[in-house]
Homo-oligomer: A and B are copies of this chain.
Amino acid sequence: MIDPAHLRSLLAARREGYSLERPFYTDAAFHELDIDAVFSNEWLFACNVAEIPREGDYITFAIGETPVVVLRGKHGEVGAFFNTCRHRGSVICTEESGHAKRLVCPYHQWVYELDGSLKSARQMPADFDRGEHGLRPVHVEVICGMVYICIADTPPDIARFKAAVTPYIAPHHPERTRVAFSMTIIEDANWKLVIENNRECYHCIGSHPELLATLIEFALPDDPRANRDFQLLMQEKTALWDSLGLPHQPADGGTEFRCIRLPFHRGAVSFTSDGRPACNKLLGDFTERDLGSVRMFRVPNNWNHFLSDHIIHFRVLPISATQTALKTTWLVHEDAVEGVDYHIDTLIDVWRATNAQDATLVAHNQRGVSSKAYTPGPYAPSEFMLTNFTNWYARKLGEHVERMAGGEKTIRLAVAQG
Given contacts A368-B83, A418-B6, contact A380 B108 (CB under 8 A): yes
Chain B residue contacts of A91, Cβ below 8 A: 364-365, 367-368
Return the CB mask of A401-418 against B: 1 if under 8 Å, else 0: 000000000000011011
Complex CA gap A368/B135 in Å reads 12
Shortest Cβ distance from A312 into chain B, in angstroms? 23
Q: Which stretch in A43-51, A59-67, A166-174 binds the other chain?
A: A59-67
State whether the Cβ of A286 lies closer than 8 Å to any Cβ in chain B. Answer: no
Q: Is A370 a contact partner of B65 (Cβ separation < 8 A)?
A: yes
Q: Is B123 a contact partner of A374 (Cβ separation < 8 A)?
A: no
Chain B residue contacts of A112, Cβ below 8 A: none
User: CB within 8 A of A378: which of B87, B94, B361, B368?
Assistant: B87
Return the CB mask of A1-41 against B: 1 if under 8 Å, else 0: 00111101100000000010000001000000000000010
Q: Is A381 a contact partner of B5 (Cβ separation < 8 A)?
A: no
Given contacts A82-B371, A90-B365, A377-B86, contact A5 B124 (CB under 8 A): no
Complex CA gap A415/B418 in Å reads 16
Most B Cβ at <10 Å: residue of A82, A91, A125, A361 = A91
State whether the Cβ of A89 lies closer than 8 Å to any Cβ in chain B. Answer: yes
Q: Is A151 a contact partner of B377 (Cβ separation < 8 A)?
A: no
Return the CB mask of A213-243 against B: 1 if under 8 Å, else 0: 0000000000001000000000000000000
Complex CA gap A26/B372 in Å reads 23
Return the CB mask of A382-404 against B: 1 if under 8 Å, else 0: 10000000000000000000000
Complex CA gap A380/B381 in Å reads 62
Most B Cβ at <10 Å: residue of A3, A8, A84 = A84
Complex CA gap A65/B369 in Å reads 9
Q: Is B125 a contact partner of A371 (Cβ separation < 8 A)?
A: no
Complex CA gap A164/B88 in Å reads 32
Question: Which size bracket describes the interface of A in this complex?
Answer: 35 or more
Q: Is B381 a contact partner of A125 (Cβ separation < 8 A)?
A: yes
State whether the Cβ of A339 lies closer than 8 Å to any Cβ in chain B. Answer: no
Complex CA gap A381/B376 in Å reads 51
Chain B residue contacts of A99, Cβ below 8 A: none
User: CB within 8 A of A206: which of B109, B206, B378?
Assistant: B109
Nearest B residue (CB) for A413: B5
Nearest B residue (CB) for A86: B377
Chain B residue contacts of A375, Cβ below 8 A: 86
State whether the Cβ of A373 lies closer than 8 Å to any Cβ in chain B. Answer: yes
Nearest B residue (CB) for A26: B65
User: CB within 8 A of A66: which of B373, B382, B414?
Assistant: B373
Q: Is B123 a contact partner of A380 (Cβ separation < 8 A)?
A: yes
User: CB within 8 A of A67: which of B62, B367, B415?
Assistant: B367
Complex CA gap A397/B236 in Å reads 69
Chain B residue contacts of A334, Cβ below 8 A: none
Q: Is B128 a contact partner of A378 (Cβ separation < 8 A)?
A: yes
Chain B residue contacts of A6, Cβ below 8 A: 414-415, 418
State whether the Cβ of A85 lies closer than 8 Å to any Cβ in chain B. Answer: yes
Residues of A within 8 A of B (CB): 3-6, 8-9, 19, 26, 40, 62, 64-67, 82-92, 94, 106-109, 121, 123-125, 128, 133, 136, 151, 196, 202-203, 205-207, 225, 361, 364-365, 367-382, 414-415, 417-418
8 closest Cβ pairs, A-B complex:
A5-B418, A82-B373, A89-B369, A65-B370, A91-B368, A84-B368, A66-B371, A89-B368
Q: Can you spell out 11 A-B residue pairs with CB atoms less than 8 angstroms apart?
A: A82-B374, A83-B371, A84-B369, A86-B375, A86-B377, A88-B379, A89-B374, A107-B206, A108-B206, A109-B206, A123-B380
Q: A92-B368, A108-B206 are in contact. List 19 more A-B contacts (CB 8 A).
A: A6-B418, A64-B372, A65-B372, A66-B372, A67-B370, A82-B371, A82-B373, A83-B371, A87-B380, A88-B365, A90-B369, A107-B206, A108-B203, A108-B380, A123-B225, A123-B380, A124-B378, A125-B380, A151-B372
